[in-house]
Structure 1
Amino acid sequence: MLVLVILGAGYFLKKEHSAKVQVLKARALNLLELLSLEMLQEVTDFQSWNQEKQLSYSHVLSTDRFLVFGPTDPIVAVLGRDTMLSCTLSPAMSAENMELRWYRSKFSEAVFIYQNQREQKEGQMPEYSGRTSLVKDFLTWGEAAVRIDKVRISDNGQYTCLFGKGRFYERATLEIKVAGVGSAPEMRIEGPEEDGVRVACTASGWFPKPQVQWRDLSGEKFLAFSEAHAQDSDGLYRVESSLVVRDSSAGNVTCSILNPILGQEKAKAIFIPDWRKAVYQAAWRKAQLYADWRKEQFQSCE
């Protein structure tokens, strides 16, 4: 009887485990189906475009073949200014009668489309409408560039340029690194902190996340006591950093905000008078003595 009970319990445990495995498998299959559908849609968009070309041309001449090259290094674009995405054909040949397309991570996310020797608005992403144009100065030599006006943070990231001639096409990838310099730092003395003087530094409107550096009058760096970053609704960074100055010889303290992409910084210095250091240090010692006194009183009452 005991053996039957044990066998029955084992059967139900095995059945329950099998049910859980089936649920996990079903979830995994659903996830794979969603991913596959998204990838399939992207492939379908590109294949539809490619099939249209194949219907129009029955063969590809060897003279129609080419390569497309873009910049090997990221394109640094300053917020609010214009930038260009340039691609070049090799060997050099005219691109006037080619189909040109610049797009983001997906073929359907068109930034700019040039077809039949004119710009095509249909299929262009709304955020690039009226903000992009084709630079045709060197189009006959095989170089084409799209100008993006008034760069935004959303322009940051990867792009692809595609050149098509008949059935043949080639593409190259490019990257834009958006950077912006924000406000100069604002500094203030906050008060006593750990037997020293606490100094705060704030700045806003930077992109990407800026770096904060503290220095004394001789240029020696200090380690920040605290540092916090936050992004506003436009994606720009605000930074707040603080430093505790304990060295009585450090009269001037400088806070600098650095953009790591542009290498540009804005700095501001603040002077901490000796009398203020002495007052804060005395206040800190009194606070410590009071805390110690309170601790002794509390312990004596136990």
Structure 2
Amino acid sequence: MVTGLFSKDCILPCLFPPGIDEVIYWKKGDKNVHSYYYQTDQLERQDPDYRHRTHLFHENIPGGNASLKLSNVTVTDEGPYSCYVGTQQTKTEVEVTLRVRVSSYYALEYQKTDTKRMLKCYAFLTYPAPRISWLQGNTSIQETDQEEARDGVLYSLRSDQSITNTADPYRCRIHLPHEQWSAEWTMQGRNEWKSLPASLRNVTAGFRAKLNTVFLQWGDMDKG
């Protein structure tokens, strides 16, 4: 298993017993990812999804290294890859699974007007689309409103929740396939003010309201 960061480069490893007249084929299902023979790259039949994004380290091939550098990793790159290397002496097949990880951001914002109190839970730049749920105390509750946006293949989601009882803690949970995050809001005192950390102010694109009488706690519920 190899983990690649979205929009970054990653290396798919493939080692083989050194030999002569190397023939290298990288494939993902039926897609031709990269081919090499006659001591040069052969890219005429390369799948368009991988055009200008693959690189073999030619200087390392004689030593038995056919690892592939994949540039500008995207979510559709995720999945199993096969590396075949044939020489006059041996044949080698290596299977590599690529998992793509997106650098997502999460935030919880508190808003108060003369008539209502509101919590807004944000998930920015995730893949796939996240699911957001709420707890009031230990009871599941329905969100008040929701808004979704797309940036290419990435999703951003905002879920709103009205605060009906300030004596209860409220918890926002953001669910993704490989991880879950939670944020908790509780009332602390009438005169206490807290502001969002700078990194969260940036990703909320201008939402810079002070957090009046709020305690925000983020916890990593589960990863795997």
Q: TM-score, normalised by structure 2?
A: 0.63
In structure 1, what is the equivalent of residue 2 of structure 2? 75
Query: RCO greater where, 1 or 2, for CA within 8 Å and sep 6 or more?
Result: 2
Q: Cα distance, 1:170 vs. partner?
A: 4.3
Change (3 A) 1:135 1:167: closer
Corresponding position: 1:99 with 2:23: yes
**Contact 1:258/1:264 (8 A) holds in 2:** yes
In structure 2, what is the equivalent of residue 238 of structure 1? 156
**Contact 1:188/1:199 (8 A) holds in 2:** yes
Query: How far apart are the structure 1 equivalents of 2:96 and 2:58?
Result: 19
1:184 to 89, 106, 124: 106
Query: How far apart are the structure 2 equivalents of 1:125 and 1:181?
Result: 27
Q: Which has the higher strand share?
A: 2
Q: Which runs of 5+ in 1 are unaligned?
A: 1-73, 275-302
Query: How far apart are the structure 1 equivalents of 2:142 and 2:112?
Result: 13
In structure 2, what is the equivalent of residue 200 of structure 1? 120
Q: Which runs of 5+ in 2 are unaligned?
A: 191-224
In structure 2, what is the equivalent of residue 223 of structure 1? 140
In structure 2, what is the equivalent of residue 248 of structure 1? 166
**Contact 1:211/1:260 (8 A) holds in 2:** no
> Which entry has the higher C-alpha Rg, 1 or 2?
1
Q: Which has the higher helix share?
A: 1
Change (3 A) 1:213 1:128: same
Q: Cα distance, 1:242 vs. partner?
A: 3.7
Q: Deviations over 1:102-156 (max 9, x none)?
A: 11111xx211111112111211122322211113565344332100112112212
**Contact 2:133/2:142 (8 A) holds in 1:** no
Q: Deviations over 1:157-195 (max 9, x none)?
A: 22221112359744333221112123432534488xxxx
**Contact 2:24/2:85 (8 A) holds in 1:** yes
Change (3 A) 1:135 1:95: farther
Query: How far apart are the structure 2 equivalents of 1:155 and 1:268?
Result: 35
In structure 1, what is the equivalent of residue 215 of structure 2? none
Q: TM-score, normalised by structure 1?
A: 0.49
**Contact 1:181/1:259 (8 A) holds in 2:** no
**Contact 1:161/1:171 (8 A) holds in 2:** yes
Query: How far apart are the structure 2 equivalents of 1:138 and 1:264?
Result: 40
Q: Cα distance, 1:86 vs. partner?
A: 0.9
Corresponding position: 1:165 with 2:83: no
Query: How far apart are the structure 1 equivalents of 2:186 and 2:7?
Result: 31
Query: How far apart are the structure 2 equivalents of 1:237 and 1:142?
Result: 41
Q: Cα distance, 1:99 vs. partner?
A: 0.6
Query: How far apart are the structure 2 equivalents of 1:258 and 1:162?
Result: 37
Query: How far apart are the structure 1 equivalents of 2:183 and 2:82?
Result: 38
Alignment map for 1:28-47 (pairs within 5 Å): none
Query: How far apart are the structure 1 equivalents of 2:107 and 2:38?
Result: 52
**Contact 1:77/1:151 (8 A) holds in 2:** yes
Change (3 A) 1:116 1:271: farther
Q: Cα distance, 1:247 vs. partner?
A: 4.2
SS at match of 2:106: coil
Q: Cα distance, 1:269 vs. partner?
A: 5.8
2:76 counterpart letter in structure 1? S
In structure 1, what is the equivalent of residue 41 of structure 2? 119
Change (3 A) 1:147 1:209: same
Change (3 A) 1:95 1:147: farther
Query: How far apart are the structure 2 equivalents of 1:161 and 1:222?
Result: 50
Q: Cα distance, 1:79 vs. partner?
A: 0.5
In structure 2, what is the equivalent of residue 144 of structure 1? 66
Query: How far apart are the structure 1 equivalents of 2:83 and 2:107?
Result: 40
